[in-house]
Each structure stands twice: as structure tokens, then as C-alpha cells.
Amino acid sequence: MENVSATSLTDAARLVQVLKINGYPATRSTRDNSCKISSRWQIDGYEWEIRISPDYSQISCQSPWVALELIFLSRFRSSKHVRANLGCRLVDPRGVLEPSEVKNQFGLFFSTGNTTSKLNLIKREDLEASGYLQDDAFTLQCTVTVLKELPEQTFPVKETVVPAPPSNLHQQFGELLQSAAGADVTFVVSGESFAAHKIILAARSPMFMAQFYGQMTEKSSQQVDIKDMEAAVFKALLDFVYSDMVPEFEEQHKDAVSMMAMAQHLLAAADRYDIERLKIICEGKLSGGIDVDTAAATLALAELHGCEQLKAKCIDFIVRSPACLDTVLATEGYKNLQASCLSVLTDMLARATKKNVV
């Protein structure tokens, strides 16, 4: 789910008017703050009143001020309050004097009749000494700004997503194999010992599962002797079980003959322990290295371990031309093929006849 943040934005409605106050001498109050001059305004659909007190004093002994206040006269439409600002300054209609400094008074209105605090614009004595009072009149420029509430809007919050690091499960299991921490079985292969973990082996190979958790004799054994396998091949098998990779196939400096020999032995080991993915990887490696010297031996291996695709590729290579067939037939590998896999020769002969090689 996407997170959002809610923000209430504001816009403003503003009205500026010039008010001329005539009869200044008559504005002096006969009693405290009794003289008030009113001006009605319509802003943003609300009715307002500016009330001007030309002779306002909070305390009778103080010098009186020209003061203003803003009054809210309407009912609310939707929101529970209205915010508005009253601004005022003296101006000279003749254009001789620059306008005075603007003074402001902000108000928050919760009900009809609410007012701002008094905005004390200028003392009467200062007004009388200024040039703004002309012919017993002075002029005010008043500004009322009403802040409008806009509909609540939502904006997506951008979250910084930290990408997950690539999986290093194969590296961690590889390190576990190297450290032998928690190992509960040792394999002895051609005089070399390899510590491993039964549960990991069983999870990767049905043969190991039956060996350690079935009815086979190695179920409770802590040492297993492996016959008819080279130590380097078994090590490569263990590396694949723990890391799902064959490091020997990635070595750039390794010569092609040694790599093909490892692929042949490892394919046999993968078939022995029913590790199908490793078997397919070895098939692919052998398929890319078929030549006249290895074709017959690889064909025999494919037939022995049920690798139909590898078998088909070997036969196609051998019978692709009479010259290639003759060369393969002269190899030691073909002699071994004749001795051990007569059935595959029938397939090869049928394919050769179809291609008119023989």
C-alpha cells in the first residue's frame, strides 16, 4: 500500500479600497471612543465591516489614536472558522507624500460578530502634524485579505526503497562446506577425506536421502567410503551440491581436454547420485566439445547414462561425412564402444544409412 500525506493548502481573496474620512474636527469623541465610522465589504462570499475609530484610546490619560478593526458579519459555509487580515496605511490623494508604512492585524473568526484586535494606525497628534491631513480630511488605503481553505489534497510520499543485495546463499553454503562446521559425515575417496552435512546432501540428492535417512547401511554411519571415483570428481560433486555451480567449468586456464574429462566423470557421478541439474550441465559441456577423438567415448557415456540429446549429437557428428566416420572408426574409443555398447551401433548405422554415408 502506498503511503500518503494530507496537506491543507490556502489561497486568498483580497480587496483594496480607499476610504476618505471628512470632518476630522468633528471626530473627536465627546465621550470615550464614541465616534466610529463603518464601511461594509463583500469578500469571498462573506460580509465584513471595517470600523474606524478616529479618536480611540484604551486609557483616558493616553494620547488618542486613529484605530481600526475588522468585524465578521456572515455565517460559515463549511469550515469552522475563517482567517483574515486587515491592512491599512495613510495615502495622499495629491500624490505629494509617499504612502505611510502599512500596519496589519490578523484575525481568526469563529462566529458572527467576531472582531480583530485594534489596529492602532497613527496617533491623532502625529496625524495632525503630518501632511496627510488636508482640509479637515484624511485618506486611508485599506486591504482585507481572506484566506480560503482549499479541498484537502493528498500527495504520495516518496519512499526510499533500498534494493535487496543479490543472493549469496551459494557463497554461504560454500563457506560452510569449506569450514566443515557442524559436519556429521566424512567421505573417504581415493585416500582423501571430505567432511559434509547429511541433511544438505539429502536435500539435494535422492540417493543421499535414501543413504542417510532410508534403510541403507550408511544411515547411522559417520564415515562413508566411495569406490570407483576420483577425489577431484567427488570434490566437484560436493561443490555443486553446496553452491549449485561447477567451479572447474569456470576456470579459464584449464585446458579443454582436462575439462572434457572432468565433464565425463562428473556426468557419471551426477547420474549415480541422481542430481539431474548437474547431469544436464555436464551434457551441455560435452555437447560443445565433441570431436573425432572424443565422439565415440562420449557416445558410449551418453548411452550408458541415458543422455538422449548428447547421444543424438554424437551420432550426428560421427555420420556427418564419410571421412569423419572413417576417422572415428579408427579411434580407440570406437573399439571400446564396439565392446561395450553394441546397441548404439545399430542406431548409428541406421542414421548413417539414412544420410547415405555408408
Report the DSSP pairing between strands 185-189 and 223-226.
parallel
Provide Rg for the chain, Cα atoms: 50
Instruction: Give the mean pLDDT of 266-272.
Output: 95
Per-residue confidence at 253, pLDDT binned at 50, 70, 90? low
- Name the residue ranges covered by the structural domains of the chain: 10-149
Cell of 86: 486587515
pLDDT mean across residues, the chain: 86
Task: Give the whole-angstrom CA distance, residue 155 versus residue 171.
Answer: 43
Instruction: Give the mean pLDDT of 57-85.
Output: 85
**Residue tagged 459555509 (cell numbers):** 77
Lowest mean pLDDT among 87-96, 215-224, 288-297: 215-224
pLDDT in tens, 129-151: 999 999 999 999 999 999 876 66
Asked whether the predicted pLDDT for residue 1 surpasses 60, the reply is no
Per-residue confidence at 255, pLDDT binned at 50, 70, 90? confident
Query: Sign of dihedral through CA atoms 74, 67, 116, 147?
Result: positive
Assign 26 to helix, strand or coil: helix
Cell of 167: 543472493
Tell me which of 256 and 59 has the higher pLDDT. Answer: 256
Per-residue confidence at 5, pLDDT binned at 50, 70, 90? very low
Burial classification of residue 261, based on how many CB atoms lie within 10 Å of its CB (0-12 exposed, 13-18 middle, 19 or more buried): middle
Asked whether the predicted pLDDT for residue 186 surpasses 80, the reply is yes
The pLDDT value given to residue 218: 65
Question: Taking a C-beta distance cutoff of 8 angstroms, is the pair 90, 137 a contact?
Answer: no
Asked whether the predicted pLDDT for residue 34 surpasses 70, the reply is no
Tell me which of 256 and 203 has the higher pLDDT. Answer: 203
Per-residue confidence at 157, pLDDT binned at 50, 70, 90? low
CB atoms within 10 A of CB 315: 20
Cell of 136: 479637515
Task: Give the whole-angstrom CA distance, residue 264 versus residue 278.
Answer: 12
Assign 272 to helix, strand or coil: helix
Per-residue confidence at 4, pLDDT binned at 50, 70, 90? very low
Question: Taking a C-beta distance cutoff of 8 angstroms, is the pair 319, 352 a contact?
Answer: yes
- CATH code for 10-149? 2.60.210.10
The pLDDT value given to residue 235: 95
Question: Taking a C-beta distance cutoff of 8 angstroms, is the pair 143, 88 a contact?
Answer: yes
Lowest mean pLDDT among 137-141, 206-210, 315-319: 315-319
pLDDT in tens, 72-107: 999 877 767 889 999 999 999 998 999 999 999 999
How far CA 177 is from CA of 113, 121, 219, 282, in Å, comes to 84, 88, 20, 22
In 3D space, the residue among 102, 112, 131, 104 whose CA is nearest the CA of residue 71 turns out to be 112
